[in-house]
Amino acid sequence: MTHLSLLSTVAVLLALFAAGSTKGLLGIGPIVAVPLLNLIVDLRVTVVLLAIPLIITNIPQAIVGDRIAVVLRRLWTVLAGMVVGVAVGVTLLSITDPAYLKPVVGIILLSICALMWFAPKLAVPTQLETVASPAAGVVGGLAGGLAALPGPFVFVYLLALGLKRDQFVQYSSMFLVISATVMTAFLLGRGVMGWSDAAISTLATVPIFAGMWIGAGVRQYVSPELFKKLILIVVAVSGSQMLVGIH
């Protein structure tokens, strides 16, 4: 990542700031960061840049609420599936030309946009959790390993479990912290991320936190629903562009 020109570096910082602003305003960040960063750098660099910020920016919400042991006991089957998904996703990322993976990421982005736009009211019967939880984890882990998007599919599943609002915030944040930690370990293990890359990824947290602060500050002046729809339209267009391979 150190070979970026000054102009590209500034563009990356602005993309990270924009993602942070969206997270501060709406609670979503990577879905904005991935298509923006992919305009500047390839998919591997995008995933590496976002891995450690996903850990750091979600820790505060992950540790507030239920005891961590309680959260992990509820999520362990989802997390087990996630490890498998991340392993497959990072392996594909490491051995496949990023250009061939762009359409896959485009499909992931479009699927996430559809889920967020229509917000289906789903419910998972208790007797199906033993199968559905690891399956949701695999899907989330695969999206994380391929595109640094481990959260959205799992979030829909957690909502379908009937978690209360505060529980959902904590449990989804805990999932992101753990899944991003697993992603980082696999990225390092597969040689996709070096230690200098890890340092740069850590520094990428700074513009994201700055954006989160601004986003939270302007929240009262902006219609969250309107902004969310505008963001989803932009991301859907970006996902479509990645899907059809227009450069």
153 found inside a domain: yes
1 found inside a domain: no
Contact 150, 175 (CB under 8 A): yes
pLDDT, one tens digit per residue, over 208-243 is 999 999 988 887 787 877 877 777 887 888 788 788
In terms of DSSP H, where are the helices of the chain? 6-26, 30-38, 43-56, 59-62, 68-95, 98-118, 129-147, 151-160, 165-189, 195-203, 205-218, 224-244
Q: In which domain, by residue range, is 238 found?
A: 6-244
Report the predicted TM-score, pTM, of the whole model to 2 decimal places: 0.89
pLDDT recorded at residue 1 = 59
236 found inside a domain: yes
Percent of the chain with pLDDT over 70: 97
pLDDT, one tens digit per residue, over 4-45 is 788 999 999 999 999 999 888 877 778 888 988 988 999 999
113 found inside a domain: yes
Alpha carbons 82 and 169: distance in angstroms, whole number = 18
- Overall domain count for the chain: 1
DSSP helix, strand, coil percent of the chain (3-state; round to 5):
80, 0, 20
- Measuring CA to CA, how many Å separate 11 from each of 6, 106, 129? 9, 21, 43
Q: Shortest CA distance to 242 belongs to which of 116, 99, 50, 112?
A: 99
